[in-house]
């Protein structure tokens, strides 16, 4: 009979403590973000997938097709190519592919780029129906971003 009342008192006390914690946090401000309608601002040090950086003057990519990012990537997820037009001094980037399914977000490609041509994006909401949706053509994405900025201005 003594253990019965002891267990009854212990259970009631546990219930009271739990309700007190619930009531305490009931009056705190809400920290939940109503996701599709409201999104979080990513901190400056957030590492999303890489993106090409545009030259502010011309809008063209800063990439000089040196291949350091491709050689520095331990996952082998970067493929780039370029061509040297006749009479030009530098190569022009023609293709920059990122296979994000293999990327480990280590940042070695960003560190190895001496020209500041690639940087981490702040995009965190990536969803796709297949693996092919995560193979990004970064040159096309850069052109879309620069045309959207020009249209918004």
Cα gap 21→27, rounded to integer Å:
11
What is the pLDDT, as a whole number, of residue 146? Answer: 83
Region 53-61: mean pLDDT is 90
Within a domain: residue 118?
yes
125 φ, ψ (degrees, to nearest 5):
-95, 75
First to last CA, the chain: 80
3 and 76 inside one domain: no
What is the pLDDT, as a whole number, of residue 66? Answer: 93
Is 80 exceeded by the pLDDT of residue 2? Answer: no
Within a domain: residue 81?
yes
5 and 77 inside one domain: no
125 and 68 inside one domain: yes
Is 90 exceeded by the pLDDT of residue 67? Answer: yes
Q: Average pLDDT over the chain, rounded to whole? A: 90
63 and 124 inside one domain: yes
What is the pLDDT, as a whole number, of residue 94? Answer: 94
What is the pLDDT, as a whole number, of residue 41? Answer: 84
- In the chain, the number of structural domains is 2
CATH number, domain of 69, equals: 3.30.70.3270
8 and 67 inside one domain: no
Is 80 exceeded by the pLDDT of residue 83? Answer: yes
Tokens 């996701």 sit on residue = 35
Is 90 exceeded by the pLDDT of residue 11? Answer: yes
Range of the domain at 22: 1-31
Region 61-66: mean pLDDT is 93
Cα 65 versus chain centre, distance = 23
- Closest CA relative to residue 68, chosen from 24, 35, 116, 120: 116
Region 89-116: mean pLDDT is 93
26 and 56 inside one domain: no
Region 11-18: mean pLDDT is 96
65 and 140 inside one domain: yes
117 and 54 inside one domain: yes
10 and 59 inside one domain: no
Within a domain: residue 41?
no
Query: Which of the four pLDDT bands, split at 50, 70 and 90, describes residue 90?
Result: confident
Region 56-72: mean pLDDT is 92
């Amino acid at each position: 009979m003594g253990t019965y009342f002891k267990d009854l008192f212990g259970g009631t006390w546990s219930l009271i403590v739990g309700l007190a914690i619930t009531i305490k946090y009931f009056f705190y401000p809400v920290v939940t973000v109503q996701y599709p309608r409201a999104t979080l601002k990513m901190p400056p040090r957030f590492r999303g997938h890489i993106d090409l950086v545009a030259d502010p003057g011309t809008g063209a990519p800063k990439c000089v097709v040196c291949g350091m990012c491709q050689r520095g990537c331990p996952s082998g997820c970067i493929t780039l190519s370029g061509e040297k037009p006749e009479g030009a001094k530098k190569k022009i980037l023609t293709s920059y592919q990122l296979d994000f399914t293999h990327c480990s977000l280590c940042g070695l490609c960003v560190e190895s780029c001496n020209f500041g041509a690639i940087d981490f994006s702040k995009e965190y909401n990536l969803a796709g129906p297949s693996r092919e949706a995560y193979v990004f053509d970064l040159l096309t994405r850069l052109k879309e971003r620069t045309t959207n900025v020009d249209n918004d201005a």
